[in-house]
Amino acid sequence: MTDEFAWLDATAQAGLVRRGEVTPVELLDAAIARIERLNGELNAVVSTRFDQARREAAAPADGPFRGVPMLLKDFLCHTAGDPVHGGMRVLRERDWRAPADSHLATRLRAAGFVFCGRTNTPELATSITTEPLAHGATRNPWDPTRSPGGSSGGSAVAVATGMVPVAHGNDMAGSIRIPASACGLVGLKPTRARTSLGPQFGEYWGQVTHEHVLTRSVRDTAAVLDAIAGAAPGDPYTAPPPARPYREEVGADPGSLRIGFRTTAPGSGEAAHADSVAAVEHAAHLLESLGHLVGPTAAAALDAPGMFDTMPALLAAVVTWELDAWSERLGEQLPSSVLEPMNALLAEAGRSVTATQWLAGMTASQQWARGVAALWDGELDVLLTPTMPAPPAKLGELAPEAKSPEELIAGVGQTAAFTAPFNITGQPAISLPLRWNAEGLPTGVQLVAAQNREDVLIRLAAQLEQAAPWAGRRPPVP
């Protein structure tokens, strides 16, 4: 097969199938050929299911994306009988396989997607670079010496290089948005509980986990959200349904929005790198030219200490829980030494976090979130920030054994400084590839809306996509 489909988005590929111009098997074979050609250099895909995919492509579900190939991140979104490693060496060694589909996987199948395999992720998705000891480093296609970000780094590289038009990701502190920025993609973190984590989980890592996809177009981001959004039986809570399908927001007039921008990191007040500042300033000028009211904002509530004081203990408790949960599933008590050094340190520290401290930390972070969310009550419609405070790190700089665990934890916190706050508040936030720096690296900007207002972000993102198209920007891969 040729690469004639590689740079079409999922909506366009589905249109070809619907019109009978191509079969799902032909789309899948083209995706497989591209994965096999590029993956040896990039290491984006860590397990494949090509034979199963070919059987499924012969009769995919008749949904909006019928016959479109996609990849799933190797973390959550389990599919029955397929391996899931979560970046962990012990799971790779045991060849652990999921017993059933998650609700998200079921909905993606119902939308017509055909799953090709799973993409690389850092161990337990706790890093912002994709360099797990279990599978090795994933390379950024814009500069193979650079990180693609994390934790959805493998998915981002697969979409950025045209292996597939869309790939699953999840976002606990920026894990969709950071790779989207590093790889030149659209990355939306939806409102908390917009998508289900069932049937295995109600919440995951407390309140911070959000599921969605990485794409090359705003219309794909919107249409996939239509396909997967909504409550499932047993969910503890859910985001209210939108007024109309998200795909109908693409091209809709966003009106004149009040957009504040900030380029200093929440909590620390550290200035972002010049490239990140330039990306925000470029976006601000573009937004102003489109008729929006744009200006700097202190957004001082972001600097209140509540989140920053409590997150270390909460993260440590989460890693301890992960280790114990996998011990139970495998039927053996796993020592912390099976984990990479940073996660091993967190797992040990988490043993000393009491239930009272956990609840106190959750309460403090929720109070902090209320203060931040109040900015949208009267001051702002949208907040504009860098997605990342600096260009993607060189591979090896934040690798699992490159520095002390304490230094790695600090590096994760610094890289997620602009994204993690909105996992705590649960607000929708999107990264868009509006600028490339002098070295040819994409530099994303983040737009944040009020709770449940993905519609605002999709309208605004589509307006920016039309004003400053990025579809023609492709990394230098064959």
Return d(Cα 170, Cα 210) in angstroms, integer: 6
DSSP 88-123: -HHHHHHT-B-SS--HHHHHHHHTT-EEEEEE---G
DSSP 357-369: HHHHHHHHHHHHH
Report CA-CA distances (Å) from 233 to 103, 197, 198, 201.
Answer: 10, 11, 8, 11
Return d(Cα 399, Cα 9) in angstroms, integer: 32
222, 458 Cβ separation under 8 angstroms: yes
Residue 143 β-bridge partners: 140
Return d(Cα 192, Cα 171) in angstroms, integer: 10
Return d(Cα 461, Cα 459) in angstroms, integer: 6
Backbone angles phi, psi at 412, to 5 degrees: -60, -45
**Which residue in this structure is represented by tokens 């049937």?**
199
SS3 per-residue string spanning 208-245? CCEEEEEECCHHHHHHHHHHHECCCCCCCCCCCCCCCC
Sort residue 193 into left (φ over 0), alpha (ψ -120 to 50) or beta: left
Tokens found for residue 394: 């060189």
Number of neighbours of residue 167 by Cβ within 10 angstroms? 29
Return d(Cα 154, Cα 84) in angstroms, integer: 14
Count the helix, strand and coil residues of the chain and give each as a percent rounded to the nearest 5. Answer: 40, 15, 45
Residue 383 β-bridge partners: 260, 448
Q: Do the strands 114-119 and 45-48 form a parallel or antiparallel pair, or are they unpaired?
A: antiparallel
Strand ranges across the sheet with 45-48: 45-48, 114-119, 69-73, 166-171, 210-215, 186-189, 429-436, 442-449, 382-386, 258-261, 293-296
116, 49 Cβ separation under 8 angstroms: yes
Return d(Cα 265, Cα 446) in angstroms, integer: 13
Residue positions annotated with a catalytic role: 73, 151, 175
